[in-house]
């Protein structure tokens, strides 16, 4: 075994430690350092951290993609990082393509990134985003708000009310963003009773101080009065 082979684990650990505290400029220096010492990005541990650091620093995705294609068997963490990177970029469509080509079973972190990507792609029907939402084993408030707002924007107030009730039955507490979509749906349906219950809830939890929710509430009362 060569000296380089003996030092490989040490060099990889050193590079990973440096990546955790590096800047965009230092990222490529560390990458070059690993290459000079004979550590290719096909080393899945180093490649994984290079991709994660690149995405976290918002480096253009072609850099992470180039590394990703060289890793023989990327793990779920690495797939998720790539999906996240594209989902947060100005070109989210590759995130959806990566998901369809994913060679491993998605985990609880995969779906929120995928939902974000689907929601940003204008030529993908909203129903696709809803299907992603239903696949999620754990749905946080961001996921709930994404689909509730999606239904509101797509002119489906009844679906907004259904999801809002389901959200409560699953123990997820709404926030200001939820209330804006709910009150908008109540206004579209001229449903004052539910709107008033929403108003009481907002006062109870302090959401009556939320400017956007308050504006939605005023809009509801105005529309119902003129209905």
Which residues does the chain have with pLDDT short of 70?
Answer: 1-6, 122-124, 227
Distance (Å, rounded) from C-alpha 41 to C-alpha 87? Answer: 23
3-state secondary structure of 28: helix
Within 13 Å, how many C-alpha atoms sit on residue 117's CB side? Answer: 25
Q: Render pLDDT for 174-199 as a digit per residue (tens, 0 to 9).
A: 999 999 999 999 999 988 899 999 99
| Cα 35–Cα 53–Cα 103 angle in degrees, nearest 5 | 85
Distance (Å, rounded) from C-alpha 56 to C-alpha 85? Answer: 8
pLDDT reported for residue 41: 78
Would you list the domain boundaries of the chain? 1-74, 75-136, 139-227
3-state secondary structure of 148: helix
pLDDT reported for residue 177: 92
Pair of tokens at residue 202? 């907002």
pLDDT reported for residue 14: 92
Q: Render pLDDT for 59-78 as a digit per residue (tens, 0 to 9).
A: 999 999 999 999 988 999 99
Considering the entire predicted model, what is its pTM? 0.72
Distance (Å, rounded) from C-alpha 142 to C-alpha 129? Answer: 13
pLDDT reported for residue 2: 43
pLDDT reported for residue 227: 61
pLDDT reported for residue 1: 36
Pair of tokens at residue 19? 């990546």
Q: Tell me how far apart the terminal alpha carbons of the chain are, to the nearest angstrom.
A: 83
Distance (Å, rounded) from C-alpha 99 to C-alpha 103? Answer: 9
């Amino acid at each position: 075994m060569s000296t380089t082979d003996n030092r490989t684990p040490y060099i990889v650990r050193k590079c990973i430690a440096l990546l955790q505290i590096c800047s965009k400029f230092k990222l490529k220096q560390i990458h070059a350092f690993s290459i000079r010492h004979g550590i290719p990005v096909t080393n899945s541990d180093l490649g994984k951290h290079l991709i994660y650091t690149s995405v976290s620093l918002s480096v253009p995705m072609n850099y992470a993609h180039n590394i990703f294609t060289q890793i023989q068997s990327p793990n779920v963490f690495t797939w998720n990082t790539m999906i996240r990177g594209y989902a947060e970029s100005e070109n989210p469509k590759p995130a959806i393509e990566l998901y369809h080509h994913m060679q491993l079973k998605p985990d609880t972190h995969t779906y929120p990134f995928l939902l974000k990507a689907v929601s940003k792609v204008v030529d993908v029907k909203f129903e696709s985003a809803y299907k992603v939402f239903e696949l999620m084993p754990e749905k946080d408030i961001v996921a709930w708000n994404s689909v509730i707002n999606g239904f509101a924007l797509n002119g489906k107030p009844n679906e907004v009310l259904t999801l809002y009730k389901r959200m409560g039955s699953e123990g997820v507490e709404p926030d200001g963003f939820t209330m804006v979509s709910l009150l908008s749906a109540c206004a579209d349906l001229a449903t004052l009773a539910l709107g008033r219950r929403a108003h009481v809830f907002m006062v109870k939890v302090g959401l009556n101080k939320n400017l956007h929710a308050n504006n939605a509430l005023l809009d509801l009362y105005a529309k119902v009065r003129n209905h």
